[in-house]
Amino acid sequence: MRVTQEGNLYQLTWLPRIFPVNCYLIEEEQELTLIDAGMSYSMKGILIQAEKLRKPLTRIVLTHGHMDHVGALDGLKKNVPEAKVYISERDASLLAGDRSLRPGEPQSPVKGSVPSKIVTGPDVLLHEGDRIGSLVAVNTPGHTPGSMSFQDQRSGAVIAGDAFQTFRAVAVSGKKVPWFPFPAMATWNLEQALASAYKLIELNPSLLGVGHGNLLLDPVEAMKRAAAEAEGLLSGGGAVHG
């Protein structure tokens, strides 16, 4: 596991060169918040890094319900039962293995690997604007119907889950990147993802952290370029929901 620190944020990465999967530890004054729970094999590294920081892990916040973001959840809960689990109200359904759509949502199919064996449920259902320590929750649907991003109010850093990827290329979720198309293939709805990308740009993040790929400092210009490319996909008549 690779650890990259930027201020209060620690990016933990497995397989950084081949198939990177990230989790984040956010350091607060007295405690730690984990954003995303990686794969089942990510558990040990998360616990070791939390131990190094000498603060209790009190919250596990999930950006969305896909398996590569919740894989270590049951193991973590076993080791740190006092940690509370947070996920958007909408993606709590995905976490429970339910990929059905709700009335009023675009009726494109929910894609990607949805858990079938995770037994841990959420303690807190998140809504737009909720505070989790220094983080503020932002609805950024598109990759999944209930995808959320989190902005640290101290630094302006944004953790966006799979709303963007930065591995191989900076791209909006739903735009296929050569050699790493997997986030796009797991994306529910590109139109929604693009609207969420613009919403994230509006937050003027100082840093962008995503599920797959390296941290991006001063990311706004790159995010704008990625949004323009996704826009081109939609307006070019070649709308890809892959």
| Cβ closest to Zn ion, residue 50 vs residue 159 | 159
| Cβ closest to Zn ion, residue 10 vs residue 164 | 164
Question: Smallest distance from the beta carbon of 21 to Zn ion, in angstroms?
Answer: 10
Closest C-alpha to 192, from 235, 140, 135: 140
Closest C-alpha to 126, from 115, 114, 112, 140: 140
Question: Smallest distance from the beta carbon of 67 to Zn ion, in angstroms?
Answer: 8
Closest C-alpha to 220, from 235, 191, 199: 199
Helix (H, G, I), strand (E, B) or coil at 76: helix
Helix (H, G, I), strand (E, B) or coil at 5: strand
| Cβ closest to Zn ion, residue 27 vs residue 36 | 36
Question: Smallest distance from the beta carbon of 28 to Zn ion, in angstroms?
Answer: 26
Question: Are 152 and 210 contacting, i.e. CB atoms less than 8 angstroms apart?
Answer: no
Question: Smallest distance from the beta carbon of 238 to Zn ion, in angstroms?
Answer: 22
> What H or E segment, with its residue span, contains residue 209?
strand 207-209
Closest C-alpha to 111, from 121, 101, 126: 101
| Cβ closest to Zn ion, residue 186 vs residue 215 | 186
Question: Smallest distance from the beta carbon of 120 to Zn ion, in angstroms?
Answer: 18
Chain positions contacting Zn ion, by CB under 5 A? 66, 162, 186
| Cβ closest to Zn ion, residue 137 vs residue 160 | 160
Question: Are 42 and 23 contacting, i.e. CB atoms less than 8 angstroms apart?
Answer: yes
